[in-house]
Each structure stands twice: as structure tokens, then as C-alpha cells.
Homo-oligomer: A and B are copies of this chain.
Amino acid sequence: MNKNAYAPLPPMGWNSYDYYDTTVNEQQVKANADYMAAHLKKYGWEYIVVDIQWYAHGAGSQRSQYQYIPFSGLEMDEYSRLLPDPERFPSSTGGAGFQPLADYIHSLGLKFGIHIMRGIPRIAAHLHGKIKDCSLTADRIADPSSICGWNPDMYGVRNCPEGQAYYDSLLELYASWGVDYIKCDDICNTNLYRNNLYSARHEVEMLSTAIARCGRPLVLSLSPGPALIEQAWHYETYANMWRITDDFWDDWRLLKDMFRRCELWQNHVSAGCFPDCDMLPLGYLGKGFGQERQTSFTRDEQRTMMTLWCLFGSPLMLGAEMTKLDEWTLSLLTNEKLLAMRTPDCRPRQLALDQEKAVWSAYNEKTRDLYLAFFNLGETPLEVTAGQLARAKHAVLSGQAATSALEALSNESSWEELWTGNVVSTPSSPVSGNGSRIKELPPHACCVYHQIR
């Protein structure tokens, strides 16, 4: 199995965290899956991901004091593997685990994902729990000095064959359930360890090995961010996606900052390898956090986010509660011309970035599709002109070795703006002046043009 082969495009799906925090239950997951199957599946949305602490008894019940209740009960099998909390996931009882839920989701033509914390439950180590197909008990493979700084559930696993056996037993279980996607947390940036931020490097490799061994093509997603650029090769070699930012929420400062992060990671997008800008905080959010609300992003900001994520090639994981999705938000998620940019063949490239604006291109050398996007990052209106569009085109194509690209330079061109459908024209060569104004962008707004051929 080649991990790059089974995730050629950045994954699209829904994740329970932004709305439910730790509290999501089976009914809610199904309701969201139903919505996705009915309204989003045909646009490519396919993953339904249950986020953190599906195994924890009473998760979220002491929310004013703890996000994760320390030393609370965890549902666990005889081999030190966590199971769904039967209170919230009734179909899991009797040893069924997530299989019934996965079956349901598969029956809708969708895929099923779960969140895990790296490591082995602390309680298993303290109680010397068994490990499947392994002569050692949990206390022998758990590393008591490897913990997560913000979640109390697990110890890291030592780099040894018995540790690999534990991860193998986990993936064997997940594969038997029908899991298609694993979001592993406290692993991409182990931020408690300031002088060794990638301290769980060996656990990434063990997960990768366990996935290969389990015989099921599971997407591997690493959290939290920011990922470490000096480990890019390692992420690319062993995982499918990795978070390039700490938790992303509906705050313009975070969105503006993402341009800098995309600049850093733009050369690391390829089939099966996706720098991850994190979930899309759209629609209704925050119920599990005790602050249910509609996204704080303006409509312009929402389009800016969607444009950047699509052009850059980030995975798209929707944070909204889908059963409350409004028409506007739905329209953001179903803009087929925008979603068409989301192939690594369409190589993203930043052309300019400063405090006031960003300009990006995406060019598909094979199909010769060319996209150009202008983002207003400032607080005053920003003019986009035909001259800028022509020069951006020139900057992209003149760097291409292919004859076809160079020929294209000498032609006039027409462009469709993907959010409005407006069509504009640019002259054959980059004029030195700015030419006519084709768009005035309000603060935080964007436009994205696709060359018509």
C-alpha cells in the first residue's frame, strides 16, 4: 500500500470538534452524515470524523473546570485499547466498537474517521494492562516521562518492538471497525517538550507501519500544529496531512496569519501529502464549548478562507454543525469551479505577500489551467487591475519551461472570477501601467480568476 496513492487529493469532510468539543454522540454523528450524504457528497465531501475523547466517560460534563477531566473513567478493552463510550455510542456495546457506526456511514457512501491521542492509556500502564499478541504489559511500553501537555489520558509509547505491537493491535482493531481516517493528536508538535518539539517522531513511524500492516488504506492526519518545517520530509514520508497551525478559529488575525504559513509550506503539497490549514469554522460553532454561535467571519472573510484553502491544496474539514447549515454557507462548500483547483497537479505559488495584500497562483502544467487570486489583507479597499492580472500571468508562465506555456504568454486572455462569474480580459503582454480596474476588494475580501481557454 502506498499512502500517496489512496489520498491523491486533499481530503474533504466534517469534524465534530468545532461544534461539539468532546461531547458528540452517535445520533449527532449520524445526523451530520445524513446531511453530508444528501447535500455535499456529490461535491467530493466524504469523511465523517469523530474528534477527541469518544472513549471518555462523562466527557464534557465538567466543562467549566476542565476540557478533559483528569483521571476520569475511560472505556477500554482487555488489551489496553480504548473503546467508544457506550453512553454516547450505544451501538458500540458488546464489543462492537465503532463498527456499527462505520457501517452506517459507509452505507451512505461516505467514509469514517476517528481522532486518537498518541500513546497508551495512563491507567493501563498503572494497572499493568495486557497488550494483544505481546508478552509485555502496558507498564513496560509506556514512557512515564512522555505526556501530553493539555490532555491527561495517555503516556507515549517507547520505541521498541512491543510498542510497535501495541500500535499494530490498535490499527488491527480500527481496520476491523472500518475506520478510513485517523487524526492522531499530540504528535505533530509535542509542544510540552520545548527543546524537542518532535519528540514522538518514532510514534509517527510506528503508526505508519501499523497502517501498512493492517491492510486497510487509512488516511493519517497529524495534529496539533504548527508543524515543524525542518521535519517536512518526515511528515511527507509517513503521513498524509499535518497541521501547519495551532487550532484555527473564526478570528481574522488567525486567517491573515495563515498566508504566511501557506508561503512557508507551498512547496510541500503533493499527491498524498497535504499541509493542513485546519478545520473550517463556518456556520454554527462552539456548542460544546458553551458558546454556541454563528461564525464570526464576515462573508468576505469566509470566501477568502475557502479560496486560500482550495488554491493552496489544504484538506477541507468542515467545523459547522451541518444540520443547521444555511444556504450561504452551503454555497461556499459547493462552488465546483473553486473546488476544481484542489489537485496537487495544480501547483500553488505565492506571488506576493505584505501587510496589505496577497497574490497567489495555481497552475496545472498538464491541463494548462491557470488560476490567479488576489486577497485584500488590509483595512482599506484594494484595487485589482487588468495590468496586475496580466503581470501575474506572466510571472507564472514565464517561469515554465514548456513551450506551450511560453506560447500562451503571447495571447490575450479572458478570465472568469469564480465567486461572481464575472468575465474580464487582459492584454497580450504585461503592460507597465496598471491598466483598467477590474475589481475593488473591500477589506479582507478576495477574487480568484480562472483563465478561459
User: Which A residues fall within an 8 A CB radius of B?
Assistant: 2, 4-5, 8, 70-71, 122-123, 125-126, 128, 139, 142-145, 147-150, 152, 192-195, 229-230, 232-233, 263-264, 266-268, 270-272, 345, 350, 353, 395, 398-399, 401
Ordered by A's residue number, 24 sampled pairs between the chains whose C-beta atoms are within 8 Å are A2-B395, A2-B398, A2-B399, A70-B125, A70-B143, A71-B126, A71-B139, A122-B122, A122-B126, A122-B144, A144-B152, A145-B150, A145-B192, A147-B147, A192-B192, A192-B193, A194-B195, A232-B264, A233-B350, A267-B267, A271-B399, A271-B401, A272-B399, A345-B401
CB distance from A397 to the nearest CB of B (A): 10
- Smallest CB gap from A72: residue in B: B139
Asked if A233 and B263 make an inter-chain contact with CB atoms under 8 angstroms apart, the answer reads yes
Asked if B268 and A267 make an inter-chain contact with CB atoms under 8 angstroms apart, the answer reads yes
Report the bound CA distance from A428 to B351 in whole Å.
Answer: 43
Report the bound CA distance from A348 to B233 in whole Å.
Answer: 12
Asked if B139 and A145 make an inter-chain contact with CB atoms under 8 angstroms apart, the answer reads no
Please give, as numbers and ranges, the residues of chain B lying within 8 Å of A270 by CB-CB distance: 399
Report the bound CA distance from A145 to B143 in whole Å.
Answer: 14
Please give, as numbers and ranges, the residues of chain B lying within 8 Å of A142 by CB-CB distance: 70-71
Report the bound CA distance from A401 to B4 in whole Å.
Answer: 10
Please give, as numbers and ranges, the residues of chain B lying within 8 Å of A125 by CB-CB distance: 70-71
Asked if B144 and A8 make an inter-chain contact with CB atoms under 8 angstroms apart, the answer reads no
CB distance from A267 to the nearest CB of B (A): 4
Please give, as numbers and ranges, the residues of chain B lying within 8 Å of A395 by CB-CB distance: 2
CB distance from A220 to the nearest CB of B (A): 15
Query: A145 is contacted by which of B8, B149, B230, B267 (Cβ under 8 Å)?
Result: B149
Report the bound CA distance from A268 to B125 in whole Å.
Answer: 44
Query: A229 is contacted by which of B70, B128, B229, B271 (Cβ under 8 Å)?
Result: B229
Report the bound CA distance from A152 to B125 in whole Å.
Answer: 11
Known: A2-B398, A70-B139. 18 other contacts (CB 8 A): A2-B399, A4-B399, A5-B398, A71-B142, A71-B144, A122-B126, A126-B126, A145-B149, A145-B150, A145-B152, A194-B194, A232-B267, A233-B263, A233-B266, A267-B268, A270-B399, A271-B399, A345-B401
- Smallest CB gap from A139: residue in B: B71
- Smallest CB gap from A2: residue in B: B398
CB distance from A205 to the nearest CB of B (A): 11
Report the bound CA distance from A268 to B233 in whole Å.
Answer: 12
Q: With A70-B125, A71-B142 known to touch, is A4 a contact of B233 (CB < 8 Å)?
A: no
Residue among A139, A149, A345, A399 with most chain B CB within 10 A: A399
Please give, as numbers and ranges, the residues of chain B lying within 8 Å of A233 by CB-CB distance: 263-264, 266, 350, 353
Report the bound CA distance from A183 to B143 in whole Å.
Answer: 26
Please give, as numbers and ranges, the residues of chain B lying within 8 Å of A144 by CB-CB distance: 70-71, 122, 147, 152
Query: A5 is contacted by which of B145, B150, B271, B399 (Cβ under 8 Å)?
Result: B399
Report the bound CA distance from A395 to B238 in whole Å.
Answer: 12
- Smallest CB gap from A149: residue in B: B145
